[in-house]
């Protein structure tokens, strides 16, 4: 029965993403559109045999996957404000199932964003990797988005419905730029490059870049585990605050 409950919860969350045009635009269309623009401008500038557009699958791919991973928190804040979360809390569904469904529902959408970017690179003739590596990058990006999903939940547990997306974007967009998701760190000021290594966005993108150029990602994985621990703690604190409301 637990599997069928989870399936219904995931179905409802998928509808919430797909049937909401505003959310779909910011989470899906915008990252893919930005990838197309940047790949057109800089897609041929690469690192050795790997084209710039393919490298961007790791950086813009991280941006796209994280954008979707941040949607659960927005959904939680809206559900709280409308009173729907209260309705769910007196249902037989444990809250952890509802939260897990929000994250689970974001995974296929995030993968879809990554796939759409890849198709764009392929259509431009700039897709320079094999299917195995492509799938590994997808898996790493999805795992690397976990701390962001937890961060968004932390915000969703305490922020008002309309404030949540503003807060999440105010945190994420600077982290995305400073973490090298929009443009290579080399073209950014030195202090931004120094700052980047402290940002989980940087480490998420490095997972894919490391695979593409053959560099170790052990340090990046360690950094993301630490970020996951921190954001999980924030989410737990936010959850307690919400329960005390």
Partner 1 sequence: MTVNNVVTIRGLDHRYGATHALRGVDLTVAAGECVALLGPNGAGKTTLVGALTGMLAPSAGIARIDGADPRRPATRRRLGVVHQQAGFPRTLKVRELVSGWAVRAGRPASDAEAVLTEVSLHDLTKRRVTALSGGQQQRLQLAMALVVDPTLLVLDEPTVGLDIDARRRFWATLAARRDRGTAVLLTTHQIEEAAAVADRVVVLHEGTVIASGHPADLTAQLPDRTVTARTALRDSELRALPDVLDVTVADGRMRAASARAEATVQALLAADPTLSDLRVEGATLEQAIVAMTTQESQEVAA
Chain positions contacting partner 1, by CB under 8 A: 1, 4-5, 8, 11-12, 15-16, 18-20, 79, 81-84, 86-87, 89-94
Nearer to partner 1, 81 or 182 (CB): 81
Nearer to partner 1, 90 or 218 (CB): 90
- Report the alpha-carbon distance of residue 124 to residue 169 in Å, rounded: 30
- Report the alpha-carbon distance of residue 125 to residue 44 in Å, rounded: 10
Smallest CA-to-CA distance from 74 within 16, 126, 18 is with 16
Residues facing 113 on adjacent strands? none
- Phi and psi angles of residue 4, each rounded to the nearest 5 degrees, phi first: -70, -35
Closest separation between CB of residue 156 and partner 1, Å? Answer: 15
Nearer to partner 1, 4 or 216 (CB): 4
Nearer to partner 1, 82 or 160 (CB): 82
Smallest CA-to-CA distance from 114 within 95, 151, 139, 89 is with 139
Closest separation between CB of residue 104 and partner 1, Å? Answer: 16
Closest separation between CB of residue 101 and partner 1, Å? Answer: 11
Nearer to partner 1, 40 or 86 (CB): 86
Closest separation between CB of residue 234 and partner 1, Å? Answer: 24
- Report the alpha-carbon distance of residue 213 to residue 50 in Å, rounded: 8
Instruction: Compute the Cα dihedral for 51, 53, 57, 59 and give only its sign.
Output: positive
Closest separation between CB of residue 152 and partner 1, Å? Answer: 18
Closest separation between CB of residue 173 and partner 1, Å? Answer: 25
Nearer to partner 1, 49 or 94 (CB): 94
């Amino acid at each position: 029965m637990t599997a069928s409950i989870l399936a219904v919860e995931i179905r409802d969350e998928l509808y919430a993403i797909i049937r909401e045009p505003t959310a779909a635009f910011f989470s899906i269309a915008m990252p893919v559109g930005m990838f197309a623009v940047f790949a057109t401008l800089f897609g041929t500038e690469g690192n050795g045999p790997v084209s710039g557009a393919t490298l961007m699958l790791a950086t813009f791919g991280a941006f796209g996957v994280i954008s979707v991973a941040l949607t659960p928190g927005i959904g939680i804040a809206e559900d709280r404000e409308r009173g729907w979360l209260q309705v769910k809390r007196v249902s037989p569904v444990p809250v952890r199932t509802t939260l897990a469904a929000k994250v689970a529902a974001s995974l296929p959408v995030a993968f879809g964003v990554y796939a759409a970017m890849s198709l764009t690179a392929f259509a431009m003739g700039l897709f320079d990797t094999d299917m195995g590596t492509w799938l590994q990058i997808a898996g790493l990006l999805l795992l690397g988005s976990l701390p962001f999903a937890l961060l968004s939940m932390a915000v969703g547990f305490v922020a008002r419905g309309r404030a949540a997306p503003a807060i999440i974007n105010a945190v994420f967009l600077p982290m995305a730029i400073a973490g090298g998701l929009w443009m290579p760190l080399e073209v950014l000021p030195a202090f931004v490059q120094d700052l980047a290594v402290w940002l989980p966005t940087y480490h998420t993108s490095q997972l894919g870049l490391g695979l593409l150029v053959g560099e170790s990602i052990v340090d990046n994985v360690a950094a993301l585990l630490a970020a996951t621990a921190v954001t999980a703690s924030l989410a737990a604190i936010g959850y307690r605050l919400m329960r005390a409301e």
